[in-house]
């Protein structure tokens, strides 16, 4: 066992150990330029023997190139964003680019801080959730000089490019399906709005479409914090107590919808006869529930893939044409929403 070095090894150490110039060592380690097979192996051996780990900081400064892509999302606990992330990783995997994740907790000021922090590492691109940012954040993005992809949402003006679905349209589609199925007394449950613009837009699309059909939300409740499943259960119980004549419940996310579903089944309520249910996201979790909850797929993985593709293309000098990539969510009726 050799003694752990206080000073990390440098190219110079490998150069001396292998009797080859630093420049050539650098070339070998990056597989760049022509190097004879002989020196190649000599260098590789020395590097491995010493346990050399290159210093990307120095490399990045010298080459003015950083293979990082900043990915800025509101939360990791949401089930939704990990899926977007795997879409991103999947595509970046074979491009030499690497995602680096920053979390904002849905706070605009924290987003600004995280963005500033990440931009100061001079990444090759930014993927950031949502179209709503502070003035300063938008300015930073616009000034950054690197490809910027805003994801999840297309209802608004992107700084550069966006990939997502229209949440207003998603809300509208769901409202139409519910109306067409004959439901009329509709309750809504969701997260507290100011935090989540996409939930807000779905709600807007939803209520406006109902309004056009002369229907008003009969009851509504908003929550924050705690186990979403438990919250869904509690809110549903409370709402049905308060407004026993409701014939439909629309939930802003699948977890609270699942909680509501479990509650209603326990109460022996006829679904979707007496009460219909629908939610939003299409998370995998729903597959294990006693009934298939009606929901709308948010195209999470595909959003991640497309966003990463845009970054990769632009990084490779290819242009991607369109600045708005609008995907189409699909409605799953499941067992809790009557078909028209």
Partner DNA sequence: ATGAAAGCGCTAACAA
Partner DNA sequence: TTGTTAGCGCTTTCAT
Contact set with a second copy (CB under 8 A): 4-8, 51, 53-58, 60-61, 66, 76-77, 82-83, 85-86, 89, 98, 100-101, 103, 116-117, 119-122, 139-140, 142-145, 226-233, 255, 258-259, 262, 266, 284-290
Least CB distance to DNA at residue 50 (A): 11
HSE value, Cβ hemisphere, 13 Å, CA-based, for 72: 31
The encoded tokens of residue 57 equal 């900081």
Which residue's structure tokens are 């930014």?
Answer: 126
Partner whose binding site includes residue 232, from DNA, a second copy, none (CB under 5 to 8 Å by kind): a second copy
- For 223-252, letters b (16+ CB in 10 Å) and e give beeeebbebbbbbbbebbeeeeebbbbbbb
According to the binding rule CB under 7 A, does residue 38 interact with DNA?
yes
Q: Which is nearer to a second copy, 34 or 241 (CB)?
A: 241
298 CB-contact burial (10 Å; exposed 0-12 / middle 13-18 / buried 19+): buried
Among DNA, a second copy, none, what binds residue 244 when CB lies within 5 to 8 Å by partner kind?
A: none
CB of 168 to a second copy, least distance (A): 28
Q: Which of 249, 254, 227 has the alpha carbon at shortest distance from 238?
A: 249
Give the orientation angle of helix 135-143 with respect to helix 108-119, to 10 degrees.
20
- Identified binder of DNA from the candidate list 5, 45, 49, 63, rule CB under 7 A: 63
Given candidates 5, 41, 49, 65, which one binds DNA under the rule CB under 7 A?
A: 65
- Answer for the pair 69, 100: CB distance below 8 angstroms, yes or no: yes
Q: Is residue 64 close enough to count as binding DNA by CB under 7 A?
A: yes
Stretch in the footprint of DNA (CB under 7 A) among 22-30, 86-94, 265-273, 279-287: 22-30
Sequence-distant (≥ 6) Cβ neighbours of residue 94 within 8 angstroms = none
305 closest CA partner among 157, 87, 78: 87
Output the smallest distance, CB 98 to a second copy, in A: 7
Nearest C-alpha neighbor of 15 from the set 3, 4, 29, 5: 29
| Stretch near DNA under the rule CB under 7 A, chosen from 25-33, 66-74, 220-228, 240-248 | 25-33
Q: Which of DNA, a second copy, none does 330 bind, CB closer than 5 to 8 A by kind?
A: none
213 binds, among DNA, a second copy, none (CB under 5 to 8 A by kind): none
20 binds, among DNA, a second copy, none (CB under 5 to 8 A by kind): DNA
For DNA, the closer CB: 139 or 213: 139
Sequential DSSP letters for 238-252: HHHHH-TT--EEEES
User: Is 145 a binder of DNA (CB under 7 A)?
Assistant: no
Burial class (CB in 10 A: 0-12, 13-18, 19+), 157: exposed
Give whichever of 55 and 180 is closer to DNA, judged by the CB atom.
Answer: 55
CB of 5 to DNA, least distance (A): 11
C-alpha angle with apex 319: 124 to 157, nearest 5 degrees?
A: 80
Smallest distance, DNA to C-beta of residue 16, A = 11
Question: 2 in helix, strand or coil?
Answer: coil
Residue 29 binds which one of a second copy, DNA, none, with CB within 5 to 8 A depending on kind? DNA
CA 43/CA 28 separation, integer angstroms: 7
Answer yes or no whether residue 27 interacts with DNA by CB under 7 A. yes
Residue 49 touching DNA (CB under 7 A): no
For residue 27, what is the enclosing H or E element? helix 22-30
Count of residues of this chain found to bind DNA when the rule CB under 7 A is applied: 30
Among 36, 227, 267, 323, binds DNA (CB under 7 A): 36
Enumerate binding residues for DNA (CB under 7 A): 7-8, 10-12, 20-24, 26-27, 29-30, 32-36, 38-39, 54-55, 58-59, 61-65
């Amino acid at each position: 066992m050799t003694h752990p070095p206080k000073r990390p090894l440098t190219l110079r150490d490998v150069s001396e150990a292998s009797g080859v110039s630093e420049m050539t060592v650098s070339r070998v380690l990056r597989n760049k330029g022509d190097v004879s097979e002989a020196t190649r192996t000599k260098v590789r051996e020395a590097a491995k023997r010493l346990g050399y780990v290159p210093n990307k900081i120095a490399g990045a400064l010298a080459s003015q190139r950083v293979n990082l892509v900043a990915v800025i999302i509101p939360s990791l606990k949401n089930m939704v964003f990990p899926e977007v992330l795997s879409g991103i990783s999947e595509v970046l995997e074979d491009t030499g680019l690497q995602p680096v994740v920053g979390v904002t907790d849905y706070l605009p000021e924290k987003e600004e801080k995280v963005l500033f922090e990440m931009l100061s590492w001079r990444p090759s691109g930014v993927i950031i959730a949502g179209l709503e940012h502070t003035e300063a954040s938008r300015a930073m993005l616009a000034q950054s000089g690197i490809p910027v992809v805003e994801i999840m949402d297309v209802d608004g003006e992107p700084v550069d490019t966006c990939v997502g679905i229209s949440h207003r349209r998603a809300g509208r589609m769901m409202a139409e399906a519910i109306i067409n199925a004959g439901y009329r007394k509709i309750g809504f449950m969701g997260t507290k709005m100011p935090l989540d613009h996409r939930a807000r837009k779905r709600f807007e699309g939803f209520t406006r479409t109902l309004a056009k059909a002369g229907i008003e939300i009969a009851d509504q409740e908003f929550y924050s914090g705690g186990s979403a499943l438990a919250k869904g259960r509690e809110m549903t119980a409370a709402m049905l107590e308060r407004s026993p004549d409701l014939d439909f419940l629309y939930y802003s996310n699948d977890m609270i919808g699942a909680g509501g579903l479990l509650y209603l089944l326990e109460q022996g309520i006829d679904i979707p006869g007496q009460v219909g249910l629908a939610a939003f996201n299409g998370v995998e979790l729903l597959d294990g529930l006693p009934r298939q909850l009606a929901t709308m797929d948010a195209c999470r993985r595909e959003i991640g893939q497309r966003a990463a593709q845009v970054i990769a293309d632009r990084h490779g000098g290819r242009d991607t044409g369109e600045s708005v990539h609008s995907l189409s969510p699909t409605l799953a009726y499941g067992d809790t929403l009557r078909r028209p």
